[in-house]
């Protein structure tokens, strides 16, 4: 087997590449090759490919037998055919991205596990929680509590954790019975008319406590929740004090708190982590969408030092993995996205524009006869449509009103995120807005105006 690694760096390999070269050779040898079996040679410089995630790219062609693979990688990151990449996965930019995410240990989160998306991050979170309790001497902790009207991903573990009835329905026979669900902190539909916000939180906490007791407090591994619920219910923020009460219950019973910030995290709600606004921190956190900004598929699980230290002192390894963990190109893209968010102070912009978006939505829809609720945080807002504002009755789901709004908006140049099943997984319509952090005030006005036109057009099409 002969392998040739061709570099396109003008003038040969950089000093940084040469520093890493021994690891490249070690990786090749570790995979059964002799030094004489591979050749490292140079080629020509290449122009920028995607300037946003790096100033230049290099092409590396790896010849394995009669096969050859050409891969584009950022900066001077060494890339071998991916069969060898995992042997040198500790190289930058994965290390740099991990340092960016947990170098300062926000909320005690000290380790990052880099994956390819949100569902993978949730699966890793569930498995890490389970392994932690096995290694800490509590193997009976195998139950997970989550909430109805939540969404945690489409892989089977994540789907079982989620409470989206429509998404779960076809796969129900395959979903684990280790997951149970309690009421969501969804004030518009769950809070009683005679309840104060404090009373509502007290009742939700009592229901969670009762579920711990029903299952057996020492059998529960974790409670899983989205700090601000995303697609399933449409930008639902928690009532004040809710997550404080949840954190207390988990602490009292020795369970972990897993927060799913795949959609609401990485600045979307005005702080880097949505949980910062709740005065608590999770034991494990899942992030994804805002991590790479759509430039590459990437997600991450962040975990506390206590959890990782327990595993390190036990088996020494997390019993989980995927082919493209810590993929260097995805990590480089995410690192650049986070650098720009930080250096351009885009979180400040999210907060300012978020206030404008809230104000403009209230002005446009606050008295609309078919808009029951306007909710959200930062640049993460939704409107919920109702047939009757007094009773909060939803429209007939057969009308597919949210899809009609999406179509009308697209016709007018606006992309929005429609959702159905807002109330119970089957009935209810909402439309979610998540403008980019670099939007302008004029953009916000335009978004609301175009959404208003789309809503009125869609309602007219169903006779309202």
Burial degree of 366 (CB within 10 A; 0-12, 13-18, 19+): exposed
The burial of 109, by beta-carbon neighbours within 10 Å (0-12 exposed, 13-18 middle, 19 or more buried), is given as buried
Rounded CA separation 111/307 (Å): 9
Q: How far is CA 250 from CA 165, 220, 243, 363, in A?
A: 26, 9, 10, 40
Beta bridge partners of 287: 261, 300
CATH topology of domain 94-343: 3.40.640
Give me the chain's average pLDDT, please.
85
Residue 172 tokens, joined: 């129900």
Contact in structure between 256 and 228 (CB atoms under 8 Å): no
Q: How far apart are alpha carbons 381 and 434 in whole angstroms? A: 7
> Architecture of 346-461 per CATH?
Alpha-Beta Complex (3.90)
> What is the residue extent of each domain of the chain?
3-87, 94-343, 346-461
Closest to 435 in 3D by CA, of 338, 349, 335: 349
73 strand-pairing partners? 58
Quick: pLDDT tens for 411-444. 999 999 999 999 998 999 999 999 999 999 999 9
Instruction: Supply 377's token pair.
Output: 């945080």
pLDDT for 165 equals 87
- The SS3 of residue 419 is strand
Burial class (CB in 10 A: 0-12, 13-18, 19+), 270: buried
The whole-number pLDDT of residue 61 equals 35
Looking at residue 182, its pLDDT comes to 98
Its pTM stands at 0.82
Quickly list DSSP for 41-78. EE------S-GGG-S-EEEEEEEETTEEEEEEEETT--
What percent of the chain lies above the pLDDT cut of 70? 80
Mean pLDDT by runs of 10 across the 464 residues of the chain is 37 39 50 51 32 32 37 37 40 87 96 96 98 97 97 96 91 96 97 97 98 98 97 96 98 98 97 98 97 94 96 93 90 94 95 98 97 98 97 96 97 95 94 95 97 97 91
Beta bridge partners of 388: 393
Q: Helices then strands (H, E): number in the chain?
A: 15, 15
Q: Are 191 and 237 within 8 A, CB to CB?
A: no
């Amino acid at each position: 087997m002969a392998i040739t690694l061709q570099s396109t760096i003008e003038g040969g390999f950089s000093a940084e590449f040469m520093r890493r070269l021994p690891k490249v050779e070690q990786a090749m040898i570790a995979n059964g090759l002799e030094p004489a079996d591979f050749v490292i040679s140079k080629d020509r410089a290449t122009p920028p490919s995607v300037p946003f995630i790096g100033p230049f790219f290099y092409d590396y062609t790896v010849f394995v037998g009669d096969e050859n693979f050409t891969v584009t990688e950022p900066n001077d990151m060494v890339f071998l055919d991916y069969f060898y990449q995992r042997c040198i996965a500790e190289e930058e930019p994965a290390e740099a991205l991990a340092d960016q995410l947990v170098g300062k240990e926000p909320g005690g989160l000290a380790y990052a596990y880099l994956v390819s998306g949100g569902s993978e991050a949730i699966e890793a979170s569930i498995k890490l929680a389970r392994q932690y309790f096995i290694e800490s001497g509590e193997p009976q902790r195998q139950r997970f509590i989550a909430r109805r009207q939540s969404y945690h991903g489409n892989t089977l573990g994540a789907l079982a954790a989620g409470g989206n009835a429509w998404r779960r329905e076809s796969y129900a026979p395959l979903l684990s019975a280790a997951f149970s669900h309690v009421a969501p902190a969804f004030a518009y539909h769950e809070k009683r008319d005679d309840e104060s916000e404090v009373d509502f939180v007290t009742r939700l906490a009592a229901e969670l406590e009762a579920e711990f007791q029903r299952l057996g407090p020492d059998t529960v591994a974790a409670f899983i929740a989205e700090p601000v619920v995303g697609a399933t219910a449409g930008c639902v923020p928690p009532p004040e004090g809710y997550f404080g009460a949840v954190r207390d219950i988990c602490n009292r019973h020795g369970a972990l708190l897993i927060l799913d910030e795949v959609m609401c995290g990485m600045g979307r709600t005005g702080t880097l982590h949505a949980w910062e606004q709740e005065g608590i921190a999770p034991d494990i956190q899942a992030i994804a969408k805002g991590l790479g900004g759509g430039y590459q598929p990437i997600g991450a699980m962040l975990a506390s030092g206590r959890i990782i230290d327990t595993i390190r002192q036990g088996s020494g390894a997390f019993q989980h993995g995927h082919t493209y963990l810590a993929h260097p190109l995805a990590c480089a893209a995410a690192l650049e996205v986070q650098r720009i968010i930080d250096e351009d102070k885009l979180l400040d912009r999210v907060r300012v524009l978020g206030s404008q978006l809230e104000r403009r939505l209230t002005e446009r829809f606050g008295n609309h006869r078919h808009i029951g609720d306007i909710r959200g945080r930062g640049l993460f807002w939704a409107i919920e449509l109702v047939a009757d504002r007094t009773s909060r009755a939803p429209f007939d789901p057969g009308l597919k009103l949210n899809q009609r709004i999406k179509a009308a908006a697209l016709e007018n140049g606006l992309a929005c995120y429609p959702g159905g099943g807002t109330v119970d997984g089957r009935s209810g319509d909402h439309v979610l807005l998540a403008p980019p952090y670099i939007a302008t005030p004029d953009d916000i006005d335009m978004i609301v105006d175009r959404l208003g036109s789309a809503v009125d057009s869609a309602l007219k099409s169903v006779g309202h």
